[in-house]
Amino acid sequence: MTIENRPANIIVNCNAPFLEIVIEGDWLLDVEIPNLELVLAKLSDGSEFKQVVFSTVSLGRWDSLLMTELIRLIAYSAEKGISVDIKTLPAGIQGLLSLVAAVPERAGDRRQTLHVSWLEIIGNCGLHLLNDVNALIMFVGNLTISVTAFFRGKAHFRWIDLWRNIQDCGPSALPIITLISLLVGLILAFVGSVQLSLFGAQLYIADLVGLGMSREMGGLMTAVIMSGRTAAAYAAQLGTMQVNNEIDALEAMGFDPMEFLVLPRVLALIFVMPLLCLYADLMGVIGGALVTVNFFEVSLVEYLSRTVNAIHVTDLSVGIFKCAVFGILIALSGCMRGMQCGRSASEVGDATTSAVVTGIVFIVIADSLMTIICNRLGI
pLDDT digits (tens, 9 = 90+) for 21-70: 888 887 777 777 777 777 777 777 655 777 788 888 788 887 777 788 88
Superfamily of domain 9-102: STAS domain (3.30.750.24)
Q: What is the DSSP string of 32-76?
A: ----THHHHHHHT-TTT-SEEEEE-TTEEEE-HHHHHHHHHHHHH
* Reported confidence tier of residue 179, pLDDT bands at 50, 70, 90: very high
Please write the tens of the pLDDT for every residue from 316-353: 888 889 888 998 899 888 888 888 887 778 888 888 88
| Chain segment 263-289, per-residue pLDDT in tens | 888 888 888 988 999 999 899 989 888
Instruction: Report which secondary-structure segment, H or E, holds 9.
Output: strand 9-15
pTM for the full model? Answer: 0.66
Q: How many CB atoms lie within 10 A of CB 223?
A: 30
Cβ atoms within 10 Å of 240's Cβ, excluding its own: 15
Q: Which amino acid is at 257?
A: P
Q: Where are the domains of the chain?
A: 9-102, 142-377
Burial of 304 (0-12, 13-18, 19+ CB in 10 A): middle
Q: How far is CA 123 from CA 147, 171, 339, 354, in A?
A: 36, 45, 26, 21
For the segment 95-116, the average pLDDT, to the nearest whole number, is 69
Could you tell me which of 274, 166, 288, 295 has the C-alpha nearest to residue 219? 274
Helix (H) or strand (E) holding 27: strand 18-27
Q: Which of 163, 165, 169, 343 is nearest to 241 (CA)?
A: 343
